Amino acid sequence: MPLKFSTLILIRNPPIAIVFASLFTCSLFLFCSCRNTSTTIIVNKEKLTDTTVVYTIHPKPQFFTLSIANTGNQTAEFYVTPPTVNLFNNESILKSILQPGMSDKEKAIAVWKFICIYRYHCYPISQSSQKLHNPAELINAFGCGLCDDANSVLVNLATLAGMKARLIGLTGHVVAEIFFEEQWHFFDADGRVYFENGNGHIYSIHELASNKKLLQREGLPFLKRELLQSTICSEYDNHPDTFHQLIDSAYNSTIRLPSQAVMKFHSQPASFISHIIAYLNQDSMPHYRNSGNYIQEITLSGSAQVVKTESNYALIKGHIRSSFQKSPYRVYYSSDERNWRFVGQTSSGFSNLVFTPYDTTGEKFCMAYYLKFEPVLNKGESTRITIENEFMFSDRVLFNNLGNSFKIISLSDSAINRLDIQLKAK
């Protein structure tokens, strides 16, 4: 009886012979692709409703910049998502990928397939933050993670869909099992694989570990078979992970852009080595380096003042810039508005204070923080400063998805009209 398995195969740590064997082909392909700079990029904009605008880019660009500025005098609330899957929150994700009348098996496969498509295998910004285990948060704000992140997201999304699911710790690897049809079934969203026989039965970890022949069927690549045998078939240390905790699913991808603030999204090709690794891993590594800039102009009144910055994306670096001010300010940072850390002092002329945002657990990124400005003189003067934050995002949300397209959806009737949207791609 033939064995069916996912075609989304991850080859991790391939032998050096495989690397060199593929190097020339991959290098030639990438060289030719990078030299093809004469291709005309077509950007189509379509206003679907008074609150929704869709952008489609064809073909897929090498360089991408999206700038969204709030030209109004009120905060604009909106979010960005691909047209095919609404990534606003976990509820909208499930509503997009699950259909009425689906069996639990069909739901499990749909959830697994979604994570395989919208998440990359790559070292994340943190290996301890539970934020990477929230499906909507991982897909929007980070985009990548390791095996425990991918399969924790799978377990959490399956649980939110009403199924029983659990993490399984293997030898140097973490996978998932989902319960339906009266037993557990193996899924690996990091390795992009599950195993199904000709009768439609998806095997469990125990079944695979008890019968190595199930991993030796025709069609399973040698390297993949060896990896799975070394992790799954050492059954003595296969165990449900007790450290896993269900996430707080309150996260949503709302962007609250203050008046006159600007968000800029930038993507460009990743390093040559990253492309080679992605080629060998069948698109499991990011093809793009993504970074963003969130820029706010703040007026300081001359007295002590606290400014809050928040984002639905992971803030990773901050700059405080000022120029031509006569009255300097001391600047303090806090992740909770209770404990303050001295950042530095602005000076006359031009000054640029650099700081690393951190959250209440000490992680070197955050979604919100506070800055306190105290005038050095008893009576300071009113002055303008610029707060600029670098942030992470996933290109799957914008253009590197199934339709090379994205939607900007306003959460109020007039917000979309206050946004100055500029998109450049080449």
Q: What is the pLDDT along the chain (426 residues), one digit of tens a residue?
A: 444 444 443 333 444 444 444 444 445 444 444 444 457 888 899 988 889 999 999 888 888 899 999 999 999 999 999 999 999 999 999 999 999 999 999 999 999 999 999 998 888 887 667 788 899 999 998 888 888 899 999 999 999 999 999 998 887 788 999 999 999 999 999 888 888 888 999 999 889 888 877 776 656 666 666 676 777 766 556 667 655 566 666 889 999 999 999 999 998 876 656 656 555 555 566 666 788 999 999 988 888 999 999 999 989 999 999 876 667 889 999 999 999 999 999 877 678 999 999 888 888 888 999 999 998 877 667 888 999 999 989 888 988 888 899 999 999 877 788 899 999 988
d(CA 213, CA 84): 39
Q: Return d(Cα 362, Cα 425) in angstroms, integer.
A: 37
Question: Helices 147-160 and 104-118: crossing angle, nearest 10°?
Answer: 140
- Options 2.60.120.380, 3.40.50.800, 3.40.50.10140, 2.40.440.10; which CATH number does 255-425 get? 2.60.120.380
pLDDT tens by residue, 14-72: 444 444 444 444 454 444 444 444 578 888 999 888 899 999 998 888 888 999 999 99
**HEC states along the chain?**
CCEEECCCCCCCCCCHHHHHHHHHHHHHHHHHHHHCCCCCCEEEEEEEECCEEEEEEECCCCCEEEEEEECCCCCEEEEEECCCCCCCCHHHHHHHHCCCCCCHHHHHHHHHHHHHHHCEECCCCCCCCHHHHCHHHHHHHHCEECHHHHHHHHHHHHHHCCCEEEEEECCCCEEEEEEECCEEEEEECCCCECEEECCCCECCHHHHHHCHHHHCCCCCCHHHHHHHHHHHCCHHHCEECCCCCCCCCCCCCCEEECCCCEEEEEEEECCHHHHHHHHHCCCCCCCEEEEEEEEEEEEECCCCEEEEEEEEEEEEEEEEEEECCCCCEEEEEECCCCCCEEEEECCCCEEEEEECCCCCCCCCCEEEEEEEEEECCCCCCCEEEEEEEEECCCHHHHCCCCCCEEEEEECCCCHHHHEEEEEEEC
* Every domain range in the chain assigned CATH 2.60.120.380: 255-425
> Which CATH number is associated with domain 3-36+89-240?
3.10.620
Instruction: Write out the residue limits of the CATH 3.10.620 domain(s) in the chain.
Output: 3-36+89-240
Matching residue, tokens 């998806």: 202
Please state, in angstroms and rounded to a whole number, the distance separating the CA atoms of residues 173 and 190: 9
User: Tell me: the pLDDT tens digits for 275-292?
Assistant: 565 555 555 666 667 889
